[in-house]
Structure 1
Amino acid sequence: MVKAIVGLATDRDGVSVRERVRKRTLTLPRAVLVAAGCDANIPACLVVEQGRPLVGVLLRVLDEAWNRVPGMNTSEVEATRGALVTLTAGVIRVHSGPVKETSDMDALRAQIDDWITRNLRCGPIHIEDLAAAHSVSARTIHRAFALTGDTMTAVVRSRRLAAVREELVHTNMTIAKIAHRWCFYDPSHLGREFRRCFGVSPSEYRQSHGC
């Protein structure tokens, strides 16, 4: 959560509020702000100056969103969310200083890789699954993989084939059972993917390397 304290005037006796206070709460996951370009060390509380131009834009957009979101469709809500994320990240960057995009994405990519590892056997994995699990956009997921020259599909396939190879070598499970465990459609599907990656069929690999 990013908390903003805005529009407070101080006098000799302490803090006085000369106008009616309107409270707006904007909750954003840390991973979303990191992906938008903030340093991973995001402050828990940020005091901003209402007179700053970018802060003023953020507050106006937040007020408009508060009033108009109930009448928006899904696409409009997503666009508004993206605008608020971008503006909030900009305010934080101005306060904290610039950082490099690559370092910003490292933490998110590590979280993505860990999630993939934990869910390899749970069925097909889609970009939308990763985006929802990490509260970011599909575009951000693509960017996280692109920084290392990968795609999500290639990474998931590689992890599954590596797991299959281990089980061919170290277990006596049938190829059909291994294919099912690692979410291939059937042994034929596994065979095609395995041969494309390793140049031999699963059976041939087991004969050469199996225990």
Structure 2
Amino acid sequence: MKSYQEQFLEFSIQQDVLTFGEFQLKSGRISPYFFNAGRIVGGEGLARLGEFYRAAIEDAALEFDVLFGPAYKGIPLVTATAIAFADVGRDLKMAYNRKETKDHGEGGLLVGGPVEGDVVLVDDVITAGTAIREVLTMLDQRDQCRVIGAVVAIDRQERGTGHRSAIDELKDECGVQVISIVKLDDIIEFLRVHQDFEANWEAVLRYRETYGVAV
């Protein structure tokens, strides 16, 4: 695990963004951990989160022109990430979509800079991949851009209805490289070396044995 990944997990636990217990997911599964970026409500925390997204993008050596945040959770995340890049001298265009078309003012579904060239999506987690697929469908109708990647906070490395993860399905179906700040394996390793989390480590291990994808 790289230093920025360990720092991200420490930060997420301190901010109560990554919590442990019993959480019912939309799938009906009871997960022993849950990630909710919406718990970050202050500017300092959002700025730090943007730095972690930037680190993951830099680590993957993605070359792109525009950052795009799928509504709704992706909007503050893409904003924080764009600011984090500006802090190191890279002023990137950013944009996001509305859920509903606006028919007054500037109108349309898209807000922000022109969505042209190679695009990277910024979101919190991918469960079924529905939100990202909707954005891909919308952006595919635009000749000026091409979605080349997506970055999320956590890759749950978890099977969907079949034997593959939603991230793997997105890669194969849409040709989009999906990267994450951390993976479930990183969370397990973090819990393993921190004795205060021994019970959580065992619960997450059992969950991976039941629902994890082959890696």
Shorter-chain-normalised TM-score: which range?
Answer: under 0.3
Q: Which has the higher helix share?
A: 1
Q: Which has the higher strand share?
A: 2
TM-score, normalised with respect to structure 2: 0.26
